[in-house]
């Protein structure tokens, strides 16, 4: 005769079952968390920030002074049994990726089901037809995801998608980037020059004491310029302000164009 489970063990089992059931539910956010919405948690904070910056640059630096296509990336913890095509089009339409020119592209990855989808807006279906989207998935994204390189796969994917959308040759080659996890201590780019900067200040102060009244104004200008230069952040901007902006869709429409694939 089997003995009944202790109450604490039974409660723990019920909690685990409940959590597993909750994980199978597909809850889609009403708005993107940014150009990169990593709900599956496959990117480090540093990788997400790097990919976010790339997508922002693509969007803001279009040709002939025009904004470029709006590309967004989302990773999902589960599709909960739904086809990735249906989930992707719902997200694209809900988030309104792209401008009124319907120039939006949504890259969706579901690691649990190992599925990938490129959803293409109406306005880009000529530049990124289904066959091109399928090729990008098959030759560029899937091989990297297959070995667990999500950052490499997503980066190479958005590079190729942007090349196709802007009429460039699709090389499928993303620059090799070394990304430090934002949760780890980082050394600022200018830290290596602190010793040299200190010596320069001492030298200027010495020259200031020795110089006559005519040369002191010039040396003071150099001194203050050096001090202000030390306040620049790693991107060369004074004050260290962030270049990120609030991301939201611009009203783009989608009609199901694109491609899906496995990895």
**Burial of 166 from C-beta contacts in 10 A (0-12 / 13-18 / 19+):** middle
| Cα dihedral sign, 22-25-30-31 | positive
Alpha helices in 115-149, H assignment, sequence order: 130-135, 142-146
- List, edge to edge, every strand of the sheet that includes 254-262: 36-38, 70-75, 104-110, 115-121, 254-262
**pTM flag (> 0.85):** no
Give the residue among 55, 50, 52 at the shortest CA–CA distance from 104.
55
d(CA 160, CA 172): 5
Q: Please report which confidence band the pLDDT of residue 246 belongs to, taking 50, 70 and 90 as the band edges.
A: low
Of 105-109, 130-134, 227-231, 239-243, least confident by mean pLDDT is: 239-243
State the fold for domain 26-181+257-262.
Answer: Diaminopimelate Epimerase; Chain A, domain 1 (3.10.310)
3-state secondary structure of 38: strand
Give the residue among 13, 42, 39, 38 at the shortest CA–CA distance from 25.
39
Structure confidence by residue, pLDDT tens digits, 61-100:
866 667 889 999 999 999 999 999 999 999 999 999 988 8
């Amino acid at each position: 005769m089997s003995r009944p489970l202790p109450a604490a063990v039974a409660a723990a089992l019920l909690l685990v079952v409940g959590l597993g059931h909750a994980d199978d539910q597909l809850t889609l956010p009403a708005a993107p968390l940014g150009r990169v919405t990593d709900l599956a948690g496959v990117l480090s904070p540093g990788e997400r920030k790097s990919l976010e910056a790339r997508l922002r640059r693509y969007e803001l630096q279009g040709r002939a002074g025009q904004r470029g296509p709006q590309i967004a990336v989302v990773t999902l913890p589960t599709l909960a049994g739904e086809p990735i095509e249906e989930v992707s089009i719902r997200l694209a339409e809900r988030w309104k990726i792209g401008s009124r020119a319907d120039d939006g592209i949504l890259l969706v990855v579901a690691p649990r089901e190992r599925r990938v989808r490129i959803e293409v807006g109406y306005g880009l279906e000529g530049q990124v037809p289904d066959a091109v989207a399928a090729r990008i998935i098959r030759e560029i994204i899937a091989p990297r995801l297959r070995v667990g390189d999500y950052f490499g796969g997503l980066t190479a994917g958005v590079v190729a998608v942007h090349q196709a959308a802007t009429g460039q040759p699709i090389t499928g080659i993303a620059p090799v980037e070394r990304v430090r996890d934002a949760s780890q201590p980082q050394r600022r780019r200018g830290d290596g020059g602190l010793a040299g900067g200190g010596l320069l200040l001492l030298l200027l102060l010495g020259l200031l004491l020795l110089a006559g009244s005519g040369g002191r104004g010039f040396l003071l200008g150099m001194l203050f310029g050096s001090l202000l230069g030390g306040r620049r952040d790693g991107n060369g901007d004074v004050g260290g302000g962030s270049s990120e902006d609030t991301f939201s869709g611009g009203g783009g429409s989608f009609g199901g164009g694109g491609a899906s694939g496995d990895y």
